[in-house]
């Protein structure tokens, strides 16, 4: 395994995962495509997905055709993860149930530690940014009155009563599914809360101080990934990310003293991740030398 430590392989992760030895990584941490398409899959399509077929959701976020991970990917992650190891995967707020079902179909189970501690194996990244923004309550009621003439008087009365009120900023959040491979003693998860509040990745962070160009549309903040890396993998352990993107997981591993095994299908994103990892590696080494 040492020859693939701290490397980023180019290709489809389903093919690349098959080359890894069984029980060879300590944790899996990834931010895969969410399957946020334009259509709802039918019950029959979902049954076929859980049995191993790919799922068509009609495209994905921002028009990018990133399908929700096939169950076969999760099965390979299950195979290479050591017994008792955890997998954490970000998911979409309206498709996380499908992803959780796919993980169950691959023989993963919800993290018993998190269920015991927090009542759920779903963590939350809360960022408090972006949509939905504050809504003017009075104006919204007036618009509804136009569409519903039969209740217009009541709605306009409410609009007058709530003039000046807004719903304020409602924090945005993303679920993080945490599952475990049965068969061994589950790794300790040192989590004080089932959520982390963190702003989205700043331009300075995603470009490592403006020294690389990062065009990836969905960059996670390093703080969130470091929180998860510390919780999932022991110091010096190996973290697998089959959907590397622009490399936030890898940066978190470098900064937290863990090894990584990365995989990315898109050459442009892999190039970004490689450049980012090399730059962070130099920064970490320089900081260590300065501390001596």
Mean pLDDT within 68-87: 97
Mean pLDDT within 24-42: 92
Query: Sorting pLDDT into bands at 50, 70 and 90, what band is 156?
Result: very high
Domain identity same for 159 and 81 = no
Domain identity same for 141 and 255 = no
pLDDT of 170 above 60: no
Domain identity same for 63 and 92 = yes
Q: Residue 263's pLDDT is what?
A: 97
Cα–Cα distance, 112 to 131 (Å, whole number): 33
Domain identity same for 160 and 180 = no
Domain identity same for 159 and 234 = no
Domain identity same for 78 and 188 = yes
pLDDT of 45 above 80: yes
pLDDT of 129 above 80: no
pLDDT of 34 above 60: yes
Output the CA torsion 171→175→176→178 (10° steps).
Answer: 130
* Domain that residue 150 falls in: 134-168
Q: Residue 182's pLDDT is what?
A: 96
Domain identity same for 155 and 185 = no
Domain identity same for 14 and 113 = yes
Domain identity same for 39 and 61 = yes
Give residue-wise pLDDT tens across range 189-237.
888 899 999 989 999 999 998 999 999 988 999 999 999 999 999 999 9
Domain identity same for 54 and 159 = no
Q: Residue 61's pLDDT is what?
A: 62
CATH of the domain at 203: 3.40.50.150
Number of domains the chain contains = 2
Domain identity same for 28 and 57 = yes
Q: Residue 237's pLDDT is what?
A: 96
Instruction: Tell which residue, 119, 105, 110, has the closest CA to residue 49.
Output: 105
Q: What is the pTM of this model?
A: 0.85
Domain identity same for 152 and 98 = no
β strands within 146-193, DSSP E: 173-180
Could you say which of 116, 146, 168 is where a domain stops? 168
């Amino acid at each position: 395994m040492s020859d693939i430590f701290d490397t980023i392989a180019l290709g489809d992760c389903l093919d690349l995962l098959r080359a890894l030895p069984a029980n060879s990584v300590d944790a899996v941490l990834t931010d895969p495509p969410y399957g946020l398409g334009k259509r709802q899959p039918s019950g029959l399509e979902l049954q076929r997905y859980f049995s191993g077929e790919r799922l068509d959701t009609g495209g994905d976020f921002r028009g990018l055709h990133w399908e929700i991970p096939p169950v076969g990917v999760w099965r390979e992650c299950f195979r290479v993860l050591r017994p008792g190891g955890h997998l954490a995967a970000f998911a979409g707020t309206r498709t996380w149930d499908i992803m959780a079902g796919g993980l169950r179909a691959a023989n993963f189970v919800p993290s018993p530690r998190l269920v015991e501690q927090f009542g759920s194996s779903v963590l939350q990244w809360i960022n408090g940014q972006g949509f939905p923004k504050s809504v003017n309550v009075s104006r919204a009621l007036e618009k509804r009155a136009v569409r519903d003439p039969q209740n217009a008087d009541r709605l306009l009365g409410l609009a007058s009563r709530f003039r000046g009120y807004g719903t304020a900023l409602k924090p945005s959040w993303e679920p993080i599914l945490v599952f475990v491979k049965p068969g061994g003693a589950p790794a300790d998860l040192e989590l004080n809360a089932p959520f982390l509040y963190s702003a989205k990745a700043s331009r300075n962070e995603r470009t490592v101080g403006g020294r690389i160009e990062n065009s990836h549309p969905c960059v996670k903040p390093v703080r969130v990934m470091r929180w998860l890396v510390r919780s999932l993998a022991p110091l010096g352990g190996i973290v697998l990310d089959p959907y590397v993107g622009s490399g936030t997981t890898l940066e978190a591993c470098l900064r937290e003293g863990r090894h990584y095994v990365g995989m990315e299908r898109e050459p442009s994103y892999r190039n970004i991740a490689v450049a980012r990892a090399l730059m962070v590696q130099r920064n970490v080494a320089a900081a260590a030398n300065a501390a001596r």
